[in-house]
Structure 1
């Protein structure tokens, strides 16, 4: 029984810390782009034509650059 006096507050502290970390991750934008990293592993990083992981605003500027198309 005396162990519960230590374990219950410790468990509440751990849960509180986990909730804090979750809200920090959401506020800092960790969950903004869920599909980009999943699609970016399918393409070669050295390919200049690869635009799958670029945000839409950057794609428009990349389309205007003089990138040779094959």
Structure 2
């Protein structure tokens, strides 16, 4: 029973700290843009217009018959 006299206030202190940290994160804007970081992973920072992919799509590839046949 004496352990409860220490455990209950310690648990309440931990809950109070967790609530404080949560409200601090909300007030500081941590949850403002939830989709931006997830989408930014998909795009290249060096080439924001993805010009390399556009150029490759526009350039005609030689037909499959024009390539050398595989050698055995």
TM-score tier by shorter-chain length is 0.5 to 0.7
Instruction: Give the structure, 1 or 2, with the largest relative contact order (CA under 8 Å, sep 6 or more).
Output: 1
Normalising by structure 2, report the TM-score. Answer: 0.66
Aligned-pair RMSD on alpha carbons? 1.7
Aligned length: 52
| Alignment partners' CA distance in 2, 1:49 and 1:24 | 36
Structure 2 stretches lacking a partner, 5+ long: 56-72
Normalising by structure 1, report the TM-score. Answer: 0.68
Structure 1 stretches lacking a partner, 5+ long: 51-68
| Structure of larger gyration radius | 2
